[in-house]
């Protein structure tokens, strides 16, 4: 992965609310050549590392699908969390 791509996305966070849980995604690695993303998923106090396939929408925005309903999690909606 190119250094500037990693610096742009590394550990950015996204808060997702499903019906019962608050889920936090943190980007660990992203590979646009392989079209994959590795994220740390925090749910119910547990943390797991997951790899998802990346897709592009009609506006060329990158996203991955999550959960049973395959909700689109847009990469450009991740934020840098500040202290």
pLDDT by residue, tens only, the chain of 83 residues? 455 555 566 567 777 777 778 888 888 889 989 999 999 999 888 999 999 999 999 999 999 998 888 889 899 888 876 65
Q: How far apart are CA 45 and CA 8, in angstroms?
A: 27
Domain count, the chain: 1
Token pair 């660990």: residue: 28
**Any domain includes 19:** yes
Q: Which domain holds residue 32?
A: 3-77
Helices (H), ranges, the chain: 3-9
Q: How far apart are CA 73 and CA 63, in angstroms?
A: 5
Torsional sign, CA 71, 75, 9, 23: negative
Give the DSSP H or E segment for 6: helix 3-9
């Amino acid at each position: 992965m190119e250094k500037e791509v990693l610096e742009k996305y590394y550990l950015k966070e996204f808060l997702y609310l499903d019906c019962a849980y608050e889920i936090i995604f943190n980007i660990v690695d992203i590979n646009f050549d392989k079209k994959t993303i590795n994220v740390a998923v925090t749910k119910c106090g547990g943390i797991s590392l997951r790899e998802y396939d990346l897709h592009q929408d009609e506006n060329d925005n990158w996203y991955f699908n999550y959960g049973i309903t395959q909700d689109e999690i847009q990469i450009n909606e991740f934020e840098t969390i500040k202290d």
